[in-house]
Amino acid sequence: MTTNGRAEAAAELVRRLGHDFRNRALLDRALTHASVGEGVQPQTHNAPRDNERLEFLGDRVLGLLVAERLHRDFPEADEGALSSRLHALVDKTACARVGAALGVGSALRLSPGETKSGGRRKDGLIADAVEALLAAVYLDAGIEAAREVFDRAWAEEFARPADRSVANPKSALQEWAQAQGRPLPAYRIVARSGSDHAPTFTVEVAVEGYAPAESQGRSRQEAEKAAAIAMLQREGVL
C-alpha cells in the first residue's frame, strides 16, 4: 500500500472512530507495528515508536469499559456470568472483528516484510492495534472520549448473543469429543509474539479425526479457550 493510500485509510479510520485527535502522534503510534523498527536500536533517535506500550494500556482501558458496561446493563447477573461475557468481549477474536469493521488493517504502518506476509489481514495485529487505538483516545482526551469510541466500536459485539459455552469452552469441547468416541483434545502452542509485558499466544487444538483449530490470546489459557471455541463453532456445536 502506498503512503497516500495508508493516509487515506487512517483518515477513514478516524471518521469511523468518531474522535478527532488533538495529538496526531498518538494515532500514528497506535497504528505502528513493532516490525517497522526491526534492526534499529530502541535508544536511537531514528527508532520509531511502536504500539506495544499503547496496547498494554489499551487492554486495561478496554477491560474497565467492558466491566463497567456489563455491571450497568446486567444488574441481576452473577460474577460468573459477567466474567464469561467479559472474556468474550475483550478477547483477540472480538478485538479483531472490531478492527475489521473499522478498517484498521489498511491504516497500519508495517515493515515491507510484514506487509508482504499479509500483516494487514492478521487478526492478531489488528486486535493489538485496536487496543492501542483505545489507549490513544484515552491519552488524547480522557476516559469519556474513550468510552464514546468504545460504545460505537463495540456496539455489534454487545449485540451478539452470549455463547452458552463461553464460560468453560474447554470442558464443552472435551464433552463433545468424548461423545464422538474420540480421545481428549490436545493443545499446543504454535507461536508466541509481542513483547514480554504484552505477549500474544497462538494455540492449536486437535481432536482425533478432525482438522485442528487455531486461535490467539494474551495468555496460554486464553488462547486455549479461544481455540476450543473456534473448533466448537466450526463443527456446528455452538
Query: Per residue of the chain (238 residues), what is the pLDDT tens digit?
Result: 667 788 899 999 999 999 999 999 999 999 999 888 765 555 444 445 899 999 999 999 999 999 999 999 988 888 777 877 888 889 888 899 999 999 999 999 999 999 898 989 988 899 999 999 999 999 999 999 999 999 999 999 998 776 554 567 888 899 889 888 899 999 999 999 877 777 889 999 999 999 999 998 888 988 898 899 889 888 887 6
Rounded Cα distance, 42 and 56, in Å: 18
Are 229 and 237 in contact by the 8 Å Cβ rule? The answer is no
Q: What is the pLDDT of residue 237?
A: 76
Residue at which a domain ends, from 159, 177, 199 = 159
Residues 169 and 229: beta-carbon distance below 8 Å: yes
54 and 120 together in one domain: yes
Question: How many residues are listed for the chain in this entry?
Answer: 238
Active site residue 55: no
In a domain, 60, yes or no: yes
75 with 115, same domain: the answer is yes
C-alpha cell at 86: 467479559
Distance between CA 90 and CA 96 in Å, rounded?
10
Report if residue 75 sits inside a domain.
Answer: yes
CATH code: domain of residue 140: 1.10.1520.10
CA 39 to chain CA centroid, Å, is: 26
Q: Exposed/middle/buried for 199, CB within 10 Å: 0-12, 13-18, 19+? A: middle
Q: Rounded CA gap, 14 and 111, in Å?
A: 22
Residues 107 and 209 in one domain: no
Within this chain, do residues 223 and 140 fall inside the same structural domain, yes or no? Answer: no
Q: 121 and 57, same structural domain? A: yes
- Active-site choice (59, 114, 123, 224): 59
Among 126, 159, 192, identify where a domain stops.
159
What integer pLDDT is reported at residue 43 of this predicted model? 46
Residues 82 and 15 in one domain: yes
Residue 153 in any domain: the answer is yes
C-beta pairs of 231-237 under 8 Å, 24+ apart in sequence? 231/173, 231/185, 231/205, 231/207, 232/165, 232/169, 232/172, 232/173, 232/176, 235/176, 235/210, 237/165, 237/172, 237/176
| Domain-embedded: residue 164 | no
Rg of the chain (C-alpha set): 19
Q: Spot the catalytic one: 50, 52, 123, 131.
A: 131
Angle between helices 143-153 and 92-102 (to 10 degrees): 90
21 within some domain: yes
| One domain for residues 146 and 55 | yes
Domain that holds residue 177: 169-234
127 with 220, same domain?
A: no
In a shared domain, residues 148 and 220 = no
The residue from 128, 159, 190 where one domain ends is 159
Q: Which residues face 206 on adjacent strands?
A: 186
Is the domain of 132 the same as that of 175? Answer: no
- Do 55 and 148 fall within a single domain? yes
Whether 95 and 187 map to the same domain: the answer is no
Q: Do 138 and 57 meet the contact criterion of CB atoms below 8 Å apart?
A: yes
Quote the number of domains for the chain.
2
Q: What H or E segment, with its residue span, contains residue 91?
A: none
The residue to which cell 478492527 is assigned: 99
How far is Cα 158 from Cα 180, in angstroms, rounded to an integer?
33
Is 59 catalytic? The answer is yes
CA dihedral 35, 118, 134, 198 (to 10 degrees): -50
